[in-house]
Chain A
Amino acid sequence: MPFSYARFVSFRNLVDSEVDTKAERIFLIGENGQGKTNLLEALYYLCYGSSFRGSVDQQIPTAGNQGFGLAAAWNSLGELGEDAGLEDSISIRFDGQIKDIRLNGKALKDRKELVFHNPAVVFCHEDFSFASGDPERRRFFFDQCAGMLYPSYIDSLRSYKRILKQRNAALKESAHDLLDVLDPQLVRFGLALMEERQKLHRRFQAEFPRLYEYVSRLGRPVELAYFPSWQKGMEFDDLVTLLGSRRESEIFYGTTRSGPHRDRWDFTSQEGSFTDRASTGQLRLLSLILRIIQASAVASGEDHDDYGGERKSRWPILLLDDVLLELDVGKRRRFLELLPPPGQGAQAFFTFLPEEPWTEYENGDTIVYRVHNGRFENQKRL
């Protein structure tokens, strides 16, 4: 839901200040290294209590400082404007060791509680790895999506990973008696993950081929495939039996060789795997389309399979970091058409290099900042 302002203290290279963000689109214009991405990182941090760059908190404070602080307010109704009503406030302080996150003044025990309050979707360079093939990165992306859509997913995933570690330790010890009780638990949480991944797959597959073709004009369909490690349709007892029958070989390898941690996601066309043959540009676009579907899925909520619908969409905050740069003019235009139209209460932050034709992307309610040495200079408000 739209931020009305964001404030930061000792955050990376940003000069301590408060930035007005009361607009549907905020453009950050500047050369590299001036602080554009750092602002996106700060906003993301305010949504989730962690960095999207995978940085540890100790790396974030401005040189010479131990900690940092962030604060912001967003409209809890998902609307922009002075009289839109209720605002939620968030503040985060990190003192070098302990992180204190407060929502409306109340301390949160677990970061996880933030996920459903004000989701954000970031489009960045690193997303390329979702497309280019590393199975682990792809699982990371779809896990993130499922975590944003299905409330129990994060708990199931945490539990599954914990049991997996315990089970691997038990395999190394050949502890049959413990494996007897760990196997059913692994299956229980594993099945929960599989079920939600299948749901997620149906949802992405309903949008992906159409949207990818629309922007890419490739002329042949590209589909999203989900290959679970445990065969679809297998039930609890079948899987416990399966794990039992493979136990001796898993003890030999000392690790769990089947289960949702080995699931694969792939992009396929008529010739088989698409990602093996695709060009860099095609892969880049693929990662952008994944993000768009993620954002629209979050906007329409858990039970809506197509976006638009009757229910009022609540778009996540969109953070787009230099992503238009690599698309040609036509693709850029068609990609932007997929973003939420003005007047829907959606908020998007874009970073641009000064030479990009950013004036073409202005969309009514836009604030433009020039970013230089960690300072934000308000160039114009449309």
Chain B
Amino acid sequence: MKAIEDLVSLLTRLPGIGRKSALRMTYYLLKADQGYTQALAERIGSLQGEIHFCSICGSYTEVDPCAVCTGLDRDRRIICVVEQPQDVLTIEASKEYKGLYHVLGGLLSPLDGIGPDKLRIASLVHRVREGRSKENSHDSVSENHKAMVEEVVLATNPTVEGDTTALYIRKVLEREGVRVTRLATGIPVGGDLEYADRLTLARSFRGRMPL
């Protein structure tokens, strides 16, 4: 039946979903409550329209700028640099960190043609500079949000590409007179931030090293 086949082939494009699981889901949906299937379809349909990238940090948000970037309780002297928007959620869940974020949108990898211009590195430098230049006061963010960026924490994964990206950013920020640290202790070598448990993450924030 075409309707079933079509849905199965769409579902198998999802990460971690094989044909078997896709079939199971399809049969489940076939029998499921109509309210549920409609809500699911609507949510999926409107997801990309409602979730945007924050124009400041690059994380996912419904309102731009995001709640972290505008939050009054956040420490504006520190920016944590991560690879993907989902890394922000992982670190937020640890409740250890109260500063701001900056999402790169990937890692440097000449092999895959990803150079510095493909990542949000220029906008990071801009943020650091902007926070540090006193005369710049015509900003959309209100005056009491202004504070000098004193530290940039690099939280890229400890892989070859994560290290390369961290070293590159350190080099770029050298001229800016900001402290650059690296989040690495505790996260297994070659490991993923996504899989680090909360405790490990909390520990690695406390033990971050100057790079």
Q: Please indicate the chain B residues that have their CB under 8 angstroms from the CB of A165 in the complex.
A: 111
Q: Would you call A169 and B163 a contact (CB within 8 A)?
A: no
Q: Which of under 10, 10 to 19, 20 to 34, or 35 or more describes the interface residues of A?
A: 10 to 19
Contact partner, B164, options A155, A166, A173, Cβ 8 Å: A166
Q: Would you call B111 and A169 a contact (CB within 8 A)?
A: yes
- The interface bits of chain A over 167-194 (1 if a CB of B lies within 8 angstroms of the residue's CB, else 0) are 1011001010110111011000000000
Q: Please indicate the chain B residues that have their CB under 8 angstroms from the CB of A182 in the complex.
A: 110, 164
**A159-B160, A184-B167, A185-B163 known; A166 and B109 CB under 8 Å?**
yes
Q: Would you call B115 and A173 a contact (CB within 8 A)?
A: yes
- Counting chain A CB atoms within 10 Å of each CB, the highest count among B163, B171, B189 belongs to B163
Residue of A nearest to B189 (CB): A155
Q: Please indicate the chain A residues that have their CB under 8 angstroms from the CB of B115 in the complex.
A: 173, 175, 178
Contact partner, B110, options A155, A175, A180, Cβ 8 Å: A175
**A163-B160, A185-B160, A185-B163 known; A177 and B110 CB under 8 Å?**
no
B207 is an interface residue with CB less than 8 A from chain A: no
Q: In angstroms, how far is the closest chain A Cβ from the Cβ of B53?
A: 25
**A155-B190, A173-B110 known; A166 and B161 CB under 8 Å?**
yes
Residue of A nearest to B112 (CB): A169
In the assembled complex, the Cα of A147 lies from the Cα of B160 at a distance in Å of 19
Q: Would you call A166 and B111 a contact (CB within 8 A)?
A: yes
- The interface bits of chain B over 149-184 (1 if a CB of A lies within 8 angstroms of the residue's CB, else 0) are 000000000001101100110010000000000000
- Counting chain B CB atoms within 10 Å of each CB, the highest count among A159, A167, A177, A178 belongs to A178
Q: Would you call B167 and A185 a contact (CB within 8 A)?
A: yes
Q: Would you call A181 and B160 a contact (CB within 8 A)?
A: no
B186 is an interface residue with CB less than 8 A from chain A: no
A162 is an interface residue with CB less than 8 A from chain B: yes
Q: Would you call B160 and A162 a contact (CB within 8 A)?
A: yes
Q: Please indicate the chain A residues that have their CB under 8 angstroms from the CB of B111 in the complex.
A: 165-166, 169
Q: Please indicate the chain A residues that have their CB under 8 angstroms from the CB of B171 in the complex.
A: 177, 180-181
Q: In angstroms, how far is the closest chain A Cβ from the Cβ of B193?
A: 17
B88 is an interface residue with CB less than 8 A from chain A: no
**A155-B190, A173-B115 known; A178 and B163 CB under 8 Å?**
no
B108 is an interface residue with CB less than 8 A from chain A: yes
A132-179 contacts to B (CB < 8 Å): 155, 159, 162-163, 165-167, 169-170, 173, 175, 177-178
A220-258 contacts to B (CB < 8 Å): none
Q: How many residues from B make CB contacts under 8 Å with A?
A: 15
Q: Would you call B168 and A166 a contact (CB within 8 A)?
A: no
In the assembled complex, the Cα of A173 lies from the Cα of B112 at a distance in Å of 12
Q: How many A-B residue pairs have CB under 8 A?
A: 42
Q: Please indicate the chain A residues that have their CB under 8 angstroms from the CB of B168 in the complex.
A: 177-178, 181
Q: Please indicate the chain A residues that have their CB under 8 angstroms from the CB of B109 in the complex.
A: 166
Q: Please indicate the chain A residues that have their CB under 8 angstroms from the CB of B167 in the complex.
A: 181, 184-185
**A166-B110, A173-B110, A175-B110 known; A185 and B116 CB under 8 Å?**
no
Q: Would you call A166 and B189 a contact (CB within 8 A)?
A: no
**A173-B115, A180-B171 known; A185 and B164 CB under 8 Å?**
yes
In the assembled complex, the Cα of A212 lies from the Cα of B161 at a distance in Å of 44
Residue of B nearest to A180 (CB): B171
Q: Would you call A170 and B160 a contact (CB within 8 A)?
A: no
- Counting chain B CB atoms within 10 Å of each CB, the highest count among A169, A173, A177, A181 belongs to A181
Residue of B nearest to A184 (CB): B167
Residue of B nearest to A182 (CB): B164
Q: In angstroms, how far is the closest chain A Cβ from the Cβ of B59?
A: 25
Q: Please indicate the chain B residues that have their CB under 8 angstroms from the CB of A180 in the complex.
A: 171
Q: In angstroms, how far is the closest chain B Cβ from the Cβ of A378?
A: 42
In the assembled complex, the Cα of A182 lies from the Cα of B164 at a distance in Å of 6
Residue of A nearest to B190 (CB): A155
Residue of B nearest to A172 (CB): B110
**A155-B189, A166-B109, A170-B110 known; A177 and B160 CB under 8 Å?**
no
Q: Identify 26 residue pairs between A and B in the complex whose beta-carbon atoms are under 8 Å apart, listed by A's number.
A: A155-B189, A159-B160, A162-B160, A163-B160, A165-B111, A166-B109, A166-B111, A166-B160, A166-B164, A170-B110, A173-B110, A175-B110, A177-B168, A177-B171, A178-B108, A178-B110, A178-B115, A178-B116, A178-B164, A178-B168, A180-B171, A181-B167, A182-B110, A184-B167, A185-B163, A185-B167
B contacts, CB < 8 Å to A: 108-111, 115-116, 160-161, 163-164, 167-168, 171, 189-190
A contacts, CB < 8 Å to B: 155, 159, 162-163, 165-167, 169-170, 173, 175, 177-178, 180-182, 184-185
Given A177-B116, A178-B168: 7 more A-B contacts, CB < 8 Å: A163-B164, A166-B109, A166-B160, A166-B161, A177-B168, A181-B167, A185-B163
Nearest 9 CB-CB pairs, A to B? Answer: A169-B110, A181-B167, A170-B110, A162-B160, A169-B111, A181-B168, A166-B110, A159-B160, A166-B111
